[in-house]
């Protein structure tokens, strides 16, 4: 075996094809896009080099700044929700339901397999008003309230989007964290119990610290996927009302493809990449500091 991997030709043969595909499909477009952010125009009108003008434009562009805020707010709220609910579910699986958790685990995980667009249409109908009023407003009417058009307001749309995201993804994080909790040796928990740690104190001082690594990975997963949210907000309300729930991804898409400015679109994409990087590094940094302490 050692001889096989010591042979450079073998390495090249085994690694080559994958590496070529990776470079062509991943690195080239990434670098291309990076280069494009210094240009303006599109494939039809041609590209003009404009240096850092796109970056200057981004800073002074109210729509871009608004999208940036939407992305961050959505990512932070969705991540907090996903992790807290996921962790609570995981605790429920491990400490309350124990062996019988398989069915609940599957049921809660199930929405994850549904396409986001289908989920968005489902939620649109849940909260709809007017001629085809949805069940949410029926319930509000039942308790004597007036129908609310959730999708006509920013907060309403954001709320529905968050509820939708949490409903469809908390099962995934629950399973992810559940596997982490299973790794905690029973003996430690037993001895903690003997020492008098119970309920919240057990979780706070024993379970939480021991499941920290998987918790941090979940936070990073969650932040990176919610920062790049696109389909759910697009399908739910088209980034509306107005552009008030349009995240960076949607703004990037519209700039590049609807308004035909590939250069500025690439700049927005780069900002998004940097944002993901910044969030990830912050989480890592805080975790390593904790590890040192």
Q: Which is nearer to another protein, 133 or 225 (CB)?
A: 133
Nearest approach, Cβ of residue 22 and another protein (Å): 11
Residue 284 CA to residue 136 CA, distance in Å, equals 40
Secondary structure E strands in the chain: 39-42, 46-49
* Min dist. Cβ of residue 281 to another protein (A): 22
Smallest gap from residue 179 Cβ to another protein (A): 35
Q: Are 166 and 85 in contact (CB under 8 A)?
A: yes
Nearer to another protein, 46 or 185 (CB): 46
Q: Which of 71, 253, 269 is nearest to 161 (CA)?
A: 71
Closest separation in Å from C-beta 35 to another protein:
5
Q: Cβ closer to another protein: 138 or 183?
A: 138
The 3-state DSSP class for residue 138 equals: helix
Q: Nearest approach, Cβ of 122 to another protein (angstroms)?
A: 14
∠ CA 92-122-236, nearest 5°, is 105
Of 265, 270, 173, 176, residue with least CA distance to 226: 173
Nearer to another protein, 5 or 259 (CB): 259
Task: Please say whether the beta carbons of 225 and 134 come within 8 A.
Answer: no
41 or 104: CB nearest another protein? 41
What pairs with residue 42 in β-bridges? 46
- Kindly list the residues in this chain that would bind another protein in the complex (CB under 8 A): 23, 27-28, 31-32, 34-36, 39, 41-48, 124, 128-133, 147, 149, 151-154, 237-244, 254, 257-260
């Amino acid at each position: 075996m050692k001889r096989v991997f010591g042979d450079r030709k073998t390495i090249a043969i085994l690694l080559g094809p994958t590496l070529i595909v990776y470079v062509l499909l991943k690195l080239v477009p990434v670098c291309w896009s990076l280069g494009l952010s210094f240009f303006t125009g599109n494939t039809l009108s041609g590209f003009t080099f404009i240096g850092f003008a796109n970056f200057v434009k981004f800073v002074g562009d109210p729509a871009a700044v608004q999208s940036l805020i939407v992305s961050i707010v959505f990512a932070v709220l969705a991540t907090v929700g996903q992790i807290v609910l996921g962790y609570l579910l995981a605790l429920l699986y491990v400490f309350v339901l124990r062996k019988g958790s398989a069915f609940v685990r599957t049921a809660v995980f199930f929405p994850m397999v549904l396409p986001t667009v289908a989920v968005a249409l489902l939620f649109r109908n849940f909260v709809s008003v007017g001629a085809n009023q949805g069940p949410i407003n029926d319930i509000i009417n039942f308790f004597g309230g007036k129908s609310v058009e959730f999708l006509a307001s920013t907060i309403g749309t954001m709320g529905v989007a968050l509820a939708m995201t949490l409903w469809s993804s908390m099962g995934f994080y629950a399973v992810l964290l559940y596997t982490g909790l299973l790794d905690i040796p029973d003996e430690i928990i037993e001895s903690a119990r003997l020492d008098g740690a119970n309920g919240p104190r057990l979780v706070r001082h024993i379970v939480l610290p021991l499941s920290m690594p998987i918790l941090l990975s979940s936070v990073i997963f969650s932040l990176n996927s919610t920062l790049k949210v696109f389909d759910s907000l697009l399908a739910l309300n088209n980034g509306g009302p107005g552009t008030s729930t349009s995240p960076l991804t949607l703004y990037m898409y519209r700039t590049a493809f609807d308004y035909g400015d590939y250069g500025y679109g690439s700049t927005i994409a780069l900002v998004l990449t940097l944002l993901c990087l910044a969030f990830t590094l912050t989480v890592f940094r805080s975790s390593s500091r904790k590890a040192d302490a």
